[in-house]
Amino acid sequence: MNQMRASEIREILKVAVSPEMISLAGGLPAPESFPLAAIATTMAELLASEGASALQYSTTEGDAELRAAIAERLGRRFAIATAPERILVTTGSQQGLDLIGKIFLDPGDVVLCESPTYLGAINAFRCYQPRFVEVATDDDGMELADLARCLAANPGAKLLYAVPDFQNPSGRCWSRERRAGVLALARRYRLAVVEDAPYAELRYSGEPQPPLAALDDDDTVLYLGSFSKVFCPGLRVGWVSGAEAVVEKLVLAKQAVDLHTPSLTQRLIARYLRVHDLDRAIEGIRALYRERRDAMLASLERELPEGVRFTRPAGGLFVWLELPVGCDARELLAACLAERVAFVPGGSFFPNGGHDNTARLNFSAMPPERLAEGVTRLARALRRLQAAAVPSVA
Ligand SMILES: Cc1ncc(COP(=O)(O)O)c(C=O)c1O
């Protein structure tokens, strides 16, 4: 327990709830994208026709119809060769991360990850006391030369954790060449690869890249997916797809945690997928977020002072800022809260610390005008902070 820390994001979200505050801090999907009417009718039909079984205990592996639907979608949308028996339904993909930590990691084991990486994965794995080795990352993904260097220094490394599509927090998407290169190195060093892909369907521009799981020819990739960002996060339904022998172990670990993911939400999603067109609904979400991304990038271009760099993501929910070296994003956050705008300082996305001059901004959770106002406030706070830091010569 001494290793565990409160998530900085949750702490910020607690202070960022007042209506005057513009919060660029969370990673919340737009609530107006939730298909409330369709969910209401689907739930009513579900309860009328199969209510007792939807409210009964169920198998740990997950609802059979849902597992089949997930396997079919992964094959059709991403060319991932999987099958219902290779799928474990989890209580959000966050649970998948914890279960993977539980079955793979002993204290001191090396986990390789992008630098920066998803805070929720750091926190999930940290319980199992691994050593994190951060691999340098640029706009095309993990840098292969640095990964080779990290592996030569840590040849017994156990897991490689990656978010290749529109990463949380950086918004970056890996090139195909990097994907193939990482898999080749993983194979050479017999690493298990965890591909966490909750944003894979949220591309707004550019060409889709194949998932690692579709390029993997020796079954080393565990692919985590989720209905959180393309349907509703509150239902808490995600999945792991991978080798059956690994899925069997994950099932044992999950049995001890929650027996199974709620039958009701699993049956609801299975029925929704049968009756409605999720692919079309996702098109609508993409159009909504594309407009928001464009609005945020245009405001950042317009408002930010010289010397601040930011990513231009082709998908996902986040933009990543690099402030001039020496500018502390935690100090900027304090100045921003006075301006009634919040964001997440980037330092906590680096498991080994440092990088205090970075920040994550979310663009999915509010309309373009509010995003623009949020960026204006942030830029104002930054200019004030910079003016205060430079002693006046007048
Ligand atoms: C990269 C990544 N993985 C996993 C999760 C957890 O998602 P879920 O709601 O499926 O548990 C998130 C949530 O923000 C995420 O950004």
Distance CA 163, CA 371 (A): 25
- Ligand 1 atom closest to the Cα of residue 236 is 9
Would you state the structure tokens that stand for residue 358, as one six-digit string?
A: 């970075």
pLDDT > 60? residue 392: no
Residue in this structure with the two tokens 């939400």, named with its chain if needed: 265
Q: Is the Cβ–Cβ distance between 223 and 86 less than 8 Å?
A: no
Distance from residue 286's CA to the centre of ligand 1 (Å): 18
How does residue 3 score in pLDDT terms, banded at 50, 70 and 90?
Answer: confident
Find the length of the chain.
Answer: 394
Scanning the structure block, which residue is given the tokens 């290749």?
164
Q: How far apart are CA 98 and CA 88, in angstroms?
A: 13
Instruction: Identify which has the larger pLDDT, 156 or 18.
Output: 156
Encoded tokens for 70: 């997930």
Contact of 93 with 238, CB cutoff 8 Å: yes
Q: In ligand 1, which atom is closest to the CA atom of 167?
A: 1
Query: Which of 93, 114, 122, 167 maximizes ligand 1 atoms within 8 Å of its Cβ, making it the mutation to test the pocket?
Result: 93
Residue 73 CA to ligand 1 centre (angstroms)? 19
Helix (H) or strand (E) holding 215: helix 212-215
Q: What pLDDT digit, counting tens, does each position of 191-227 carry? A: 999 999 999 999 999 999 999 999 998 999 999 999 9
| Distance from Cα 96 to the centre of ligand 1, integer Å | 10
List, for residues 134-156, the tens digit of each pLDDT value. Answer: 999 999 999 999 999 999 999 99
How much is the pLDDT for 394?
47
Statement: residue 15 has pLDDT above 80: no
Confidence band of 342 (pLDDT split at 50, 70, 90):
very high
Q: Does position 270 have pLDDT exceeding 60, yes or no?
A: yes
Asked whether residue 115 carries a pLDDT value surpassing 60, the answer given is yes
CA distances from 48 to 35, 59, 112, 359 (A): 20, 22, 48, 48
Angle between helices 244-258 and 92-104 in degrees, nearest 10: 110
Q: What's the mean pLDDT in 241-264?
A: 98
Are 192 and 243 contacting, i.e. CB atoms less than 8 angstroms apart?
no
Report, as an integer, the average pLDDT of 22-31.
Answer: 95
Digit-coded pLDDT (tens) for 354-380: 999 999 999 999 999 999 999 999 999
**Residue 4: pLDDT above 90?**
no
pTM: 0.96
Question: Which of the four pLDDT bands, split at 50, 70 and 90, describes residue 5?
Answer: confident
State both tokens at 201. Answer: 């369907």
Ligand 1: which residues within 6 Å by Cβ? 27, 92-94, 118, 120, 163, 168, 196, 198, 226, 228, 233, 238
Ligand 1 atom 14: residue of nearest CA: 27
List the residue whose alpha carbon is closest to atom 16 of ligand 1: 168
Tell me which residue of 106, 107, 98, 104 sits closest to 125, measured CA to CA.
Answer: 98
Distance of CA 158 to CAs 178, 193, 242, Å?
Answer: 20, 9, 16
Question: Nearest CA to 192 among 99, 88, 95, 76?
Answer: 99
Q: Are 169 and 255 in contact (CB under 8 A)?
A: no
Angle at 247 between CA 173 and CA 277, to 5 degrees: 55
Of 38, 73, 65, 49, whose CA–CA distance to 275 is shortest?
38
CA of 93 from ligand 1 middle (Å) equals 6
Q: Residue 6 pLDDT more than 80? A: no
**Mean pLDDT value across residues 258-274:** 98
Average pLDDT, the chain: 95
> Of 8, 114, 118, 172, which is best to mutate to test ligand 1, by the most ligand atoms within 8 angstroms of its C-beta?
118
**300-324 pLDDT per residue, tens:** 999 999 999 999 999 999 999 999 9
d(CA 220, CA 81): 13
Quick check: helix, strand or coil at residue 214?
A: helix
